[in-house]
């Protein structure tokens, strides 16, 4: 009888517990999703980041530009990364950006998106897909807009690349709840000299909001002007690993595929 009564109380207590919106998880059973993305084909991604992720059995998305030697001379290592479950994302052949935008003096006239045609951009992106497919054998991946640019010669190419990708990452510094993910311009949290505490605060906000949080890294301990200290990156990975029950830590292609399916329903 005592057992029965306490069981009943337990049942009532459980039924009366406040339900945190999305507690049962919009994101593959977890409240929030976290995607770690690394841009621009850097040696340091192969030398430091991939071992750090593999050690923790975490997956990342590497947005590869094909032209740099850190891609072209290390393809077998990228193939190995893909075999280990990391995504090889498309970040174009030559990393063209719109040279007419402010602070873009560094853009080479040869690879200035303001003088590209949409056709040329789409052809270069398509060829990059073929090259990446020859490395990882996969037909599905995501794209990352170079410099966040979505236009070639002042015309948007977003619609033209939609059939080529599951999704595309943009640079709008925000996170997205399920139902609000703009699949062909997915928000991302741009990392530049951040501390682990700042990055963890964003992850905790994503958890509160039940959102998808995408981190956008370039240099990790060097090799790029947009850099973050290696120890801060390591501390973020440790935090995420320790809180795996809270976050679905996955690749951009997996998160986009999942959001696409859920948002269609």
By C-beta, is 145 or 207 nearer to Zn ion? 145
Where along the sequence are the contacts to Zn ion (CB under 5 A)?
39-40
Whose Cβ is closer to Zn ion: residue 147's or residue 164's? 147
Rounded to 10 deg, the angle between the 118-136 and 75-83 helix axes is: 70
Phi-psi region of 57 (alpha: psi -120 to 50; beta: other; left: phi over 0): left
Q: Report which residue's Cβ sits closest to Zn ion.
A: 39
* Cβ at position 256, least distance to Zn ion in Å: 18
CB-based burial label for 6 (10 Å; 0-12, 13-18, 19+)? exposed
- Closest approach of Zn ion to the CB of residue 61, in Å: 13
Least distance from Zn ion to the Cβ atom of residue 151, Å? 16
- Nearest distance in Å: CB 39, Zn ion: 4
Q: Is the CB of residue 45 less than 8 Å from the CB of residue 56?
A: no
Q: b/e per residue, 224-247, with b = 16+ CB within 10 A?
A: beebbbbebbbbbbebbeebeebb
Q: What is the DSSP string of 31-84?
A: SEEEEEEEES--HHIIIIIHHHHHHTT---EEEE-SSSHHHHT-HHHHHHHHHT
CB closer to Zn ion, 129 vs 247: 129
Q: SS3 for 254?
A: helix
CB closer to Zn ion, 30 vs 86: 86
User: Of 39 and 98, which CB lies nearer to Zn ion in the complex structure?
Assistant: 39
Q: How far is CA 14 from CA 21, 136, 260, in A?
A: 16, 47, 33
CB of 171 to Zn ion, least distance (A): 10
Q: Rank residues 14 and 225 by Cβ distance to Zn ion and give the closer one.
A: 225
Instruction: Identify which of residues 110 and 245 has a Cβ nearer to Zn ion in the complex.
Output: 110
Residue 65 Cβ vs Zn ion, minimum distance, rounded to whole Å: 7
Residues 6+ apart with CB under 8 A from 206: 32, 33, 34, 175, 212, 213, 247
- Minimum Å gap between C-beta 87 and Zn ion is 16
């Amino acid at each position: 009888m005592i057992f029965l009564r306490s069981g009943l109380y337990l049942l009532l207590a459980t039924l009366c517990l406040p339900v945190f919106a999305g507690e049962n998880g919009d994101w593959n059973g977890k409240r929030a999703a976290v995607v770690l993305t690394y841009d621009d084909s850097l040696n340091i991604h192969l030398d430091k980041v991939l071992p750090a992720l593999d050690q923790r059995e975490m997956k990342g998305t590497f947005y590869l530009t094909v032209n740099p030697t850190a891609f072209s001379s290390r393809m077998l290592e990228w193939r190995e990364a893909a075999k280990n479950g990391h995504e090889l994302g498309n970040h174009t052949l030559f990393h063209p950006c719109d040279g007419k935008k402010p602070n873009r003096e560094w853009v080479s006239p040869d690879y200035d998106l303001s003088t590209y045609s949409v056709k040329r951009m789409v052809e270069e992106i398509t060829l990059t897909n073929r090259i990446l497919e020859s490395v990882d054998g996969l037909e599905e991946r995501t794209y990352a807009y170079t410099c966040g640019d979505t236009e070639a010669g002042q015309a948007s190419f977003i619609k033209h690349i939609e059939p080529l990708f599951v999704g595309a990452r943009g640079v709008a510094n925000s996170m997205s709840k399920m139902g609000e993910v703009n699949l062909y311009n997915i928000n991302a949290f741009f990392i530049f000299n951040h501390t682990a505490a700042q990055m963890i605060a964003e992850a905790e906000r994503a958890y509160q909001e039940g959102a998808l949080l995408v981190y956008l890294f370039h240099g990790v301990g060097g090799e790029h002007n947009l850099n973050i200290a290696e120890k801060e990156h390591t501390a973020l990975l440790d935090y995420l690993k320790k809180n795996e029950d809270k976050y679905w830590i996955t690749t951009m292609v997996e998160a986009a595929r999942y959001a696409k399916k859920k948002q269609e329903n």
